[in-house]
Amino acid sequence: MGQAMSTRPNVLLITVDQWPGFLLGAAGHPVIETPTIDTLAAAGTRYAATYSECPICIPARRTLMTGLSPRGHGDRVFKTQEPMPDAPTLASTFRANGYQATSVGKLHVYPQRDRIGFDDTIIAEEGRPQLGAVDDYDTFLADRGLAGQQFMHGMSNNEYAWREWHLSEFDHVTNWTARETCRAIKRRDPTRPAFWNMSFTHPHPPLVPLRSYLERYERSAIDAPVNGDWAENFDDLPHALQLVRLYWSELSPRAMIEMRRAFYALCTHIDHQIRVVLGTLREEGLLDNTAILFTADHGDMQGNHGLYAKRLFLEPSACVPTFLVLPKGDMAESRGSVREDLFGLADVMPTLLEIAGITVPDTCEGISMLGSEGRPFFYGECMEDGKATRMIREGGFKLIWYPAGNRVQLFDLANDPKECRNLADDAAHAETRKRLETTLISQLYGVDLDWIEGDQLKGFEAPDLPRLDNRGLSGQRGLHYPTPPFDAKGQVVGTI
């Protein structure tokens, strides 16, 4: 039995945090250096229209690990103390079918030591001991004589100031994540197939790349952000977008270039550390029989249209980089292909299970990305108040609804992939708008039903804009030794 089990394919799921779908050399980006990812994408299939159902860390990861939509798993906001739903997870399904399963890096579940079906989870949770656990990366730093030093670079986990990494390269969380994954591979049970989840915390801020990666981008002409005509006047923006503009001040042209250079440096660092993991798989004789799927929980607006971070359904925030490399004997037909079919993070679970020949649980709402024609439309949802946004993409068109103020954006992505022109009030596209609005209404539930009237979107009156006080610097971490005290409200450090 052991020998038969060991011939089944291994599966490596690589996730990155806050990485836009267009930010790959393979996707035609003019500056980013991602040679490893580009090589892997050329060996498999790149899925160019894959979206995050809810582009926020926790809801997106719940979808990734359960195959459930936000409606199915219960979070479209960012519930830091919400246990996983009572449903089979990707890891538990693999394990129930004879696989060993290990996760390294960011898992972002509650409680933090919930293994959600993995045999072991080796976690790096970005400094959230208030949720009840000191993570393994912090323990590693303490063992190195660096207790509490993770955030002494002084950069916030949710802002766009940057500086070079303050400790050694060996101590960087990107190196740690790759190294621990390699060790998990080497420590596998050779009589059983394996599922490894390698989850990098970057390029999510804090923007603290290694000096060597910053230096390589000093010679590059960093691309400038895109600004649509609809984004020129603050007063004309939907309320949810005004809130983003108020929260993150617009960077100067120089600061924008430097921020992007730091962001790109973090991406290339990850790309190069993936090489070490691939080398370990090769030297262990596993690479040819390992399926590799790469994706992100969501993207980052990167200053495009004057906006930053996630929580939006514009392309830089919602579309995620995704490719799949099948085991060597199964990949001939897919090698180097690019698919424009609509997929989401819920589709990762059924895809990986199908590769392993495992029956997909009935609870899973996703569809396999293998041979499928994709979804007929993609529905996304995020937040439940003045920040709420809802999205439908169907074919080449995308409709985004902002219930606060009842504002709509309509983009023709086939002809305007950077979303520079809002066609919502264009008479020539009235029929398309109505069709997508009807599809969107069919997906609404809960409080959203109060925001429609028959077959019409009515939204609600936009509240007054707040006067923001960001003295906490968007969740700035401090000295983490001794461990920070528990917040009486259970509030996590950095709630964005």
pLDDT > 90? residue 335 = no
Q: Rounded to whole angstroms, how far apart are CA atoms 42 and 35?
A: 10
Report the C-alpha dihedral over residues 230, 235, 239, 244, rounded to 10 degrees.
80
**What pLDDT score does 491 carry?**
54
Q: Domain range holding 57?
A: 2-377
β-bridge pairing 337-339 and 45-47: parallel
User: Looking at the domain assignment, is residue 397 inside a domain?
Assistant: no
**What pLDDT score does 132 carry?**
84
CATH of the domain at 13: 3.40.720.10
Tens-place pLDDT, residues 91-105: 999 999 999 999 999
Whether residue 182 contacts residue 237, with contact meaning beta carbons closer than 8 Å, is answered with: no
**What pLDDT score does 367 carry?**
97
3-state SS track over 354-406 = HHCCCCCCCCCCCCCCCCCCCCCCEEEEECCCCCCEEEEEECCEEEEEECECC
Q: Rounded to whole angstroms, how far apart are CA atoms 186 and 307?
A: 43
Task: For residue 339, give the amino acid letter.
Answer: R
User: Looking at the domain assignment, is residue 424 inside a domain?
Assistant: no
Instruction: Give the chain's mean pLDDT.
Output: 95
pLDDT > 70? residue 2 = no
Tens-place pLDDT, residues 407-436: 999 999 999 999 999 999 999 999 999 999
User: Looking at the domain assignment, is residue 443 inside a domain?
Assistant: no
**What pLDDT score does 130 carry?**
82
Confidence at 495, pLDDT banded by 50, 70, 90:
very low
Tens-place pLDDT, residues 139-192: 999 999 999 999 999 999 999 999 999 999 999 999 999 999 999 999 999 999
**What pLDDT score does 483 carry?**
85
Tens-place pLDDT, residues 48-89: 999 999 999 999 999 999 999 999 999 999 999 999 999 999
pLDDT > 60? residue 493 = no
Task: Find how far residue 54's CA is from the centre of its chain.
Answer: 9
pTM, rounded to two decimals: 0.96
Tens-place pLDDT, residues 366-402: 999 998 799 999 999 999 999 999 999 999 999 999 9
Tens-place pLDDT, residues 245-297: 999 989 999 999 999 999 999 999 999 999 999 999 999 999 999 999 999 99
**What pLDDT score does 488 carry?**
54
User: Looking at the domain assignment, is residue 396 inside a domain?
Assistant: no
Query: CB 425: neighbour CB atoms within 10 A?
Result: 10
pLDDT > 60? residue 462 = yes
Number of separate domains in the chain: 1
* Closest C-alpha to 374, from 364, 366, 383: 366
User: Looking at the domain assignment, is residue 446 inside a domain?
Assistant: no
Three-state SS for 150? coil
Q: Rounded to whole angstroms, how far apart are CA atoms 351 and 355?
A: 6
**What pLDDT score does 332 carry?**
58
User: Looking at the domain assignment, is residue 126 inside a domain?
Assistant: yes
User: Looking at the domain assignment, is residue 15 inside a domain?
Assistant: yes
Q: Rounded to whole angstroms, how far apart are CA atoms 174 and 271?
A: 10
pLDDT > 90? residue 131 = no
User: Looking at the domain assignment, is residue 245 inside a domain?
Assistant: yes
